[in-house]
Amino acid sequence: MATPDLSPAQLAAPAYPAELRSQLFQYVLQLADTSLILAHRLSEWCGHGPVLEQDLALSNIALDLLGEARSYYQYAAELEGRGRTEDDLAYLRSAVEYRNPLLVEQPNGDFAYTVVRQFLFDNFHYQLLKGLQNGPDARLAAIAEKSLKEAAYHLKWSSEWLIRLGDGTPESRRRLDKAIATLWRFAGELTTPTPNESQLQELGLVPDYAALLPAMQAHVAHVLAEATVPLPTAPVAQLGGKTGRHSEHLGYLLAELQYLQRTYPGLTW
Amino acid sequence: MVTAAPAPTEARIWQLLEEVTDPEVPVLSILDLGIVRQVAVEGEHITVTITPTYSGCPAMNAIATDIRLRLLAEGYPQLTIHNQLSPAWTTDWMTPAGRAKLEAYGIAPPVDGTATGHILNLFGQDTAVRCPLCQSEHTHLVSQFGSTACKALYQCDDCREPFDYFKCHA
């Protein structure tokens, strides 16, 4: 992956003080890791989708997220300013250095499991991008403005599938209930700020999660009602991924994702 | 015989860019597609600013390479390509000529004002898209996601042909 040139406006990032720059680097890296890991999970469906159209949908969503991840990694690399490239950040960090929430590294399971994971992420992602596009950091705002159009399609897709599965056949409902029972505990981490996120939120540099929650909860309530699924009682949020404490799944995922660069360092197309 | 290329002018560069086509939809030039935002010439140095269509569109890398090769072939090696994300690309920037070429190629062009902006409009009424093969308006959406990031899958209810629809992205 070549680093594209940037327009002068994009290069003129505000001159953040060193400490803030480092905090923003961590934040942008977390966004990048989250989109990359989910993109990789979705790409595992390629050729295995339940029907051709949904196989294509999953690959399309994976590609959008991968493109978004690249934009974040490029920005993160510039913020860090130590000569690491987007490729170094994606391919040469170990699992404990990854900052994605636990939800996105969970395995695909069956189609219902993938739909619920996607719905929980899309609902958060859509509102987060809406906040970021109006934020004070011009670069994050530009990336969010671009990705928001795509995220709207993703959320529509996962919302509609959640409704079809919930209000479908006894078998689709059984699988959906199981997926919700397993995955709902990972939703809370998305909007539980880490100390780093809290500080950036207090500075007004990134969206405050508390402000995103009403719209997120309203959409969940609407979709679950349409799906005839009772709203799950909020389980205790399973935390860890955003501070580097991951489930065992991430190591296996990275082993596959990073294999080529680890085995043949510096290899390019 | 190698002759020195005449000094580049903005008009000449726009002309050359018209010859660079989308690798996925080869009937469309990148100008038809509306992704070239700006051309600036300073002495021998050329700067072309492009805006990606979709974040992960693999065609963007190919397009940047094709621009470079086209200008190189004319003797213009000093080129910088800027990737500009904001304002985000929209199908409103696609030219009327581009839309006509798309339909003739068998891909229904975007219907303005039908972008998926309302997330609560689930299972909403499908956009009325004209079949590029028989021109019937009796068509239905098969999937919002098609063979590339920019297309949705439709099927014609009259001639029964499945076809690609270049989705509205505004």
- Using a 10 angstrom Cβ sphere, with 0-12 exposed, 13-18 middle and 19 or more buried, the burial of residue A222 is middle
Window B:92-111, CB contacts with A under 8 Å: none
Per-residue pLDDT reduced to its tens digit, A42-67: 999 999 999 999 999 999 999 999 99
> Mean per-residue pLDDT for B91-95?
91
Is 70 exceeded by the pLDDT of residue B126?
Answer: no
pLDDT of residue A16: 92
> Mean per-residue pLDDT for B85-89?
88
The reply to whether residue B57 touches residue A67, judged by beta carbons under 8 angstroms, is: yes
Is 50 exceeded by the pLDDT of residue A3?
Answer: no
Mean pLDDT of chain B: 88
Closest chain A C-alpha to B3 CA, distance in angstroms: 30
pLDDT band at A10, cuts 50/70/90? very low
Pick from A114, A163, A230: which is nearest to B123 by CA? A163
pLDDT of residue A244: 97
Per-residue pLDDT reduced to its tens digit, A138-165: 999 999 999 998 999 999 999 999 999 9
Q: Which residue, among A146, A163, A220, would best test binding to B if mutated, counting the most B CBs under 10 Å from its CB? A: A146
User: At A64, is the secondary structure helix, strand, or coil?
Assistant: helix
Q: Is the ipTM of this complex over 0.90?
A: no
Window A:103-162, CB contacts with B under 8 Å: 126, 138, 141-143, 145-147, 149-150, 152-153, 155-157, 159-160
Interface check A163 vs B, CB under 8 A: yes
Side chain identity, residue A16: Y
Per-residue 3-state assignment (H helix, E strand, C coil) for chain B? CCCCCCCCCHHHHHHHHCCCECCCCCCCEHHHHCCEEEEEEECCEEEEEECCCCCCCCHHHHHHHHHHHHHHHCCCCCEEEEECCCCCCCHHHCCHHHHHHHHHHCEECCCCCCCCCCCCCCCCCCCCCCCCCCCCCCEEEEECCCCCCCEEEEEECCCCCEEEEECCCC
pLDDT band at B150, cuts 50/70/90? confident
Where do the domains of chain A lie? 17-263
**Cα–Cα distance between A243 and B111 in angstroms, integer?**
45
**Cα–Cα distance between A149 and A64 in angstroms, integer?**
10
Closest chain A C-alpha to B113 CA, distance in angstroms: 14
Interface check A87 vs B, CB under 8 A: no
Ramachandran bin of B29, using left for φ above 0, alpha for ψ from -120 to 50, beta for the remaining angles: beta
- Which strands form B162-166's sheet, in the order they lie side by side? B107-108, B162-166, B151-156, B139-143
Pick from B30, B36, B19, B16: which is nearest to B76 by CA? B16
Which pairing describes strands B151-156 and B139-143: parallel, antiparallel, or unpaired?
A: antiparallel
User: What is the value of pTM for the model shown?
Assistant: 0.91
Token pair belonging to B99: 């839309």
The reply to whether residue B87 touches residue A9, judged by beta carbons under 8 angstroms, is: no
Closest chain B C-alpha to A245 CA, distance in angstroms: 29
pLDDT of residue B1: 47
Which pairing describes strands B36-42 and B45-50: parallel, antiparallel, or unpaired?
A: antiparallel
Residue in A with minimal Cα distance to B154: A53
pLDDT band at B122, cuts 50/70/90? confident
pLDDT of residue B3: 62
pLDDT of residue B40: 96
Q: Which residues pair with B163 in a beta bridge?
A: B154
Is 50 exceeded by the pLDDT of residue A7?
Answer: no
Of A10-24, A176-190, B3-17, B153-167, the poorest mean pLDDT is in A10-24
Per-residue pLDDT reduced to its tens digit, A82-139: 999 999 999 999 999 999 999 999 999 999 999 999 999 999 999 999 999 999 999 9
Is 70 exceeded by the pLDDT of residue A6?
Answer: no
**Cα–Cα distance between A59 and A41 in angstroms, integer?**
10
Per-residue pLDDT reduced to its tens digit, B96-116: 999 999 999 999 999 877 665
Q: Which residue, among B144, B145, B155, B165, would best test binding to A if mutated, counting the most A CBs under 10 Å from its CB? A: B145
pLDDT of residue B117: 52
pLDDT of residue A236: 87
Q: What is the CATH number of domain A17-263?
A: 1.20.1260.10
